[in-house]
Amino acid sequence: MDNTTIKEHYITEFRKAEENMNGEASTAFHLIRKNAIAKFDELGFPTAKNEDWRFTNVSPLFKFDFKKGNTVKLNNSDIEKYLINGLNENIIVFINGIYSVELSSIKKQDNGIVIDSLKNVLNTKPELVQNYIGKFAEIDNGFTALNTAFASEGIVIIIPDNLQVKGHIHLLYITGEEGKHVISQPRNLIVTGKNCRVNIIESYHSRTNEANLVNAVSEVVVGENSFVEIYRLQQENESSFHINRTQSILAASSTYTHYSVTLGGAIVRNDTNIKLNAENCTGNLYGLYLTEGSQHVDNHTLIDHAKPRCQSNEMYKGVLNDNSRGVFNGKVFVREDAQKTNAYQSNKAILLTSTAIIDTKPQLEIYADDVKCSHGAAIGQLDNEAVFYLRSRGIDEELARKVLIRAFANDIFETIANDIFHEHLNNLVFEKLK
Amino acid sequence: MLSVKNLFVKVEDKEILKGINLEVKAGEVHAIMGPNGSGKSTLANVIAGKEGYEVTGGEVTLNGTDLLDMNPEERAREGVFLAFQYPVEIPGVSNATFLKTALNEIRKHKGQDELDALNFLKYMKEKMRVVGIDEKLINRPVNQGFSGGEKKRNEIFQLQMLQPTLAVLDETDSGLDIDALKIVSAGVNSFRSKTNAVIVVTHYQRLLNYIVPDYVHVLVNGKIVKSGGKELALELEEKGYDWISNPKGEAVAV
Ligand SMILES: Nc1ncnc2c1ncn2[C@@H]1O[C@H](COP(=O)(O)OP(=O)(O)O)[C@@H](O)[C@H]1O
Ligand SMILES: [Mg+2]
């Protein structure tokens, strides 16, 4: 199918879904969807002509006839392999994008916190999300438009003032149905009040070997003086596609840290954007992608310094093997008002073969005069001096190279305080680089 | 032990070593002195098996086995150790983990059991005392953020840990103050035995006050132009390399 046909296909799907909606079609929330489908009609899917998608050709997606998935009956033992041993405080499971009550386990919360599926919230208390969804994730491409148009399921986490959520909230997105190409479009919303703390892990997995498509959008609203950490682990099979937009906005004196770890997927495109929207906030973006075969991983980040006295730290690292390809585009935007900004960006990649490719582009747009911004990029091969140093002590070449690659990759996790999770990430890297 | 015969080496089409002969026997310490750029590091690196050097003639053997045929890790397992002039920083790999891996690779090669964590720790503690190296340097990534002196001390610590048969020390004295120099020298001296050998590469005589060599060779422009006993080093210190760079028909001993 070509770009236009596929566009028509989704618009028709939207109309059909609308016809079966009854009362919901007249809700305020549905208006958001209607606007989005109109936007989608206008934008279509991005092509290489679009500057932001120059290096990522999404046309391989259109070879598949993606269908909405069904609830697949799974037992706890089926999902065990996706869990992180020792981090099972709160587990929320989506199968083919559909919330599974049976497989989820949320520690009893009697403190006003909302952890629920978007579907339930829309049915019971749509006012909780009405003022947030679509307010932050600007619809500037067809994928975000499509997700918004079909927004009906995902996670909603709303944390009241002064609440420190203990442990981690682990969101599992398990996609796949035998003999079918599944599309799932999670729409997530995370909102914290003042003085909160929360750690969220999102991990994306494939149940089957089929090519699936996850088109996810998350909006994260960090309240004053709160600490929010989000870890996005993309572990899908190597024929699947993942388009992800995570848009966060920070209130005064808050700290937001996002980790992006991409191991799987045929084509992965992440737009990880933060807006430092009040004074004294800190935004940290860390990313690691390990690619092999013909994987294609595109990370676009945008750090928008809108207000004075904020700082941002960004570090993305990639290890690319075989014919795989990476794209890194890191935009830092310092508005006129954002004096005393401190922005640091670093982007490093190791190419293990002569056929692996990386396109990287730092983009600093600075409109304030009293700012400190720096960026560094280092793309290259493994350090031969270091390889020789290890070999000269009796370590064989293959092991020496592995040790150095692992060290390069694991470095990104240095700031993770939780030992269990740190170890889990190191193990994922170890397995992938085997 | 080590036998270098008529060794010619090119780097990027430039001839650097022009017929080196060197015989080092077990129990001996040889010093190789010479001005900057004379080829000292080239010789050390070729013995250790670093890439980028083209051997165009001659041979290097260790106890009769051809070293030039082996890759660096095989040489290390056979007992060759190079203390680097510029030790490499390796972010993300702790000194202790690195040494445990290296030691066990060498032990495996020798048909010995690998050391488990506990025995390794015991062994390492003992060697740390010998070199007087700080505990916190052991757990840090290899050489990362180490001062010049700490890096050199770390090389000697590795020497003590790995107990090679042939140690080649490339400018181990550079960047050391007198106290550090004494400690590093003591580390080397306690390593010396009847069954191993040491080659000390330096362009200052200073180190040789502490690591007293049996033989001194002067390398100028890719050739050993003079060899002698430890007193040769003192003579060089006094008269400089110019005196020897223009030898007046003196016999060039090997
Ligand atoms: N990798 C290299 N590429 C080009 N020239 C080199 C390289 N290594 C050494 N040389 C040259 O070889 C000569 C000897 O260098 P080196 O062995 O480092 O001397 P020394 O250790 O005695 O100071 C010098 O002229 C140096 O410039
Ligand atoms: Mg040198």
Secondary structure of B25-39 as H, E, C letters: CCCCEEEEECCCCCC
Q: Tell me the C-alpha distance between A200 and A230, whole Å.
A: 5
Confidence of residue B254 (pLDDT cuts 50, 70, 90): very low
Say what the alpha-carbon torsion angle A174, A177, A183, A188 is, to the nearest 10 degrees: -20
Confidence of residue B238 (pLDDT cuts 50, 70, 90): confident
CB B104 within 8 A of CB B115: yes
Q: For residue B108, give the amino acid letter.
A: K
CA of B175 to the centre of ligand 2 (A): 13
Q: What SS3 state is found at A214?
A: strand
Domain extent listing, chain A = 3-278, 382-434
pTM listed for this prediction: 0.87
Closest CA in chain B for residue A388: B50
The pLDDT of residue B214 is above 90:
yes
Interface of B with A in 30-89 (CB under 8 A): 48-51, 71-73, 75-77, 81-82, 84, 87-89
Closest CA to A261 of A241, A238, A231: A231
Record the tokens describing residue A350, joined without a space: 């190791």
Per the CB < 8 Å rule, is A395 touching B51?
Answer: no
Residue A224, CA atoms < 13 Å, CB-side half-sphere: 5
Task: Let me know how long chain B is.
Answer: 254
Q: What SS3 state is found at A233?
A: strand
Stretch A370-389: mean pLDDT: 94
Q: What SS3 state is found at A17?
A: helix
Residue position matching structure tokens 């650097």:
B16
Per-residue pLDDT tens digits for A11-62: 999 999 999 887 888 899 999 999 999 999 999 999 989 999 999 999 999 9
Per-residue pLDDT tens digits for A199-245: 999 999 999 999 999 999 999 999 999 999 999 999 999 999 999 99
Q: For residue B149, give the amino acid letter.
A: G
The CA distance from A396 to the nearest CA of chain B, in Å, is 6
In this prediction the ipTM stands at 0.94
Per the CB < 8 Å rule, is B51 touching A388?
Answer: yes
Residues with Cβ within 8 Å of B13's Cβ and at least 6 positions away in sequence, in order, are none
Q: Looking at residue A23, what is its pLDDT?
A: 82
Whole-number average pLDDT of chain A: 95
**Phi, psi angle pair for A394, to nearest 5°:** 100, 5
**Phi, psi angle pair for A189, to nearest 5°:** -135, 125
Q: First CA to last CA across chain A, in angstroms?
A: 37
**Phi, psi angle pair for A330, to nearest 5°:** -115, 110
Domain extent listing, chain B = 2-245
Q: Looking at residue B134, what is its pLDDT?
A: 86
Class of domain B2-245: alpha beta
Per the CB < 8 Å rule, is B102 touching A393?
Answer: yes
Per-residue pLDDT tens digits for A69-93: 998 899 999 999 999 999 988 999 9
Residue B40 CB less than 6 A away from ligand 1: yes
Closest CA in chain B for residue A394: B73
Per the CB < 8 Å rule, is A392 touching B48?
Answer: yes
DSSP string, A142-187: HHHHHHHHT---SEEEEE-TT-B--S-EEEEEEE-BTTB-EEE--E
Per-residue pLDDT tens digits for B85-111: 999 999 989 999 999 999 999 999 999
Neighbours of A181 (CB within 10 A): 21
Distance of CA B226 to the CA centre of its chain: 20
Pocket test for ligand 1, best of B38, B42, B168, B169 (most atoms within 8 A of CB): B42
Strand-pair category, A371-380 with A341-351:
parallel
Strand partners, A256: A228, A283
Which helix (H) or strand (E) segment is B17 a member of? strand B14-24
The pLDDT of residue B251 is above 60:
no
User: A254-279 burial, b if ≥16 CB within 10 A, otherwise e?
Assistant: bbbbbbbbbbbbbbbbbbbbbbbbbe
